Amino acid sequence: MAEWTGVMYGFYLNKSIAEVFPLWMEKTTHINYKVQRDFFQDTDFLFCYKNDEMNYNHLEYGYNLDLNGEGCLGIEAKRTKLNGIATLFEFENDSDFEPYDINLHLDDVFYYVLVLPDLIENSSFCKKVHEMFVNILNGKGHEEQLG
């Protein structure tokens, strides 16, 4: 059985794949990455790599950082429902409510998984890519460039 590689960061939001993917593909071309898009069982996949050598290393070793501190990137996305419970709690003694649960029942949301070669705490490249993706999700996709 193959071992999973990469670090996954999940996001639920109401921004569609048709809005997010074009901005992501535009951003990755600015950092000289190629984008491969696939679709399987209601899930959209983007795989991003800089060159054939990086792609080959990914096929051999999975998500990893090269000697320049860069690596392949992936995004999985699909339209889904979100039914769950979120617990609100006090953070650093800075709240005016008692901890309690809220029920979430959302019928039409999008789930994105950003797959990076390392933790954002361990890699400046991964941290910048993560920030770039979050900015796109927050509607700030046009202002910032990775570099």
- List the domain boundaries for the chain: 7-80+111-137
85-117 burial code (b ≥16 CB/10 A, e <16): eeeeeeeeeeeeeeeeeeeeeeeebbbbbbbbb
Taking the alpha carbons at both ends of the chain, their separation in whole angstroms is 37
The span from the CA of 74 to the CA of 70, in Å, is 13
Per residue in 77-130, pLDDT (tens digit) is 999 999 989 887 766 666 666 677 888 898 999 999 999 999 999 999 999 999
Q: How does DSSP classify residue 88?
A: E
pLDDT for position 109: 94
Top CATH class, 7-80+111-137: alpha beta
Residue of higher predicted confidence among 39 and 3: 39
pLDDT for position 1: 38
Per residue in 125-145, pLDDT (tens digit) is 999 999 999 999 998 755 555
Tell me which residue of 76, 80, 72 sits closest to 117, measured CA to CA.
Answer: 72
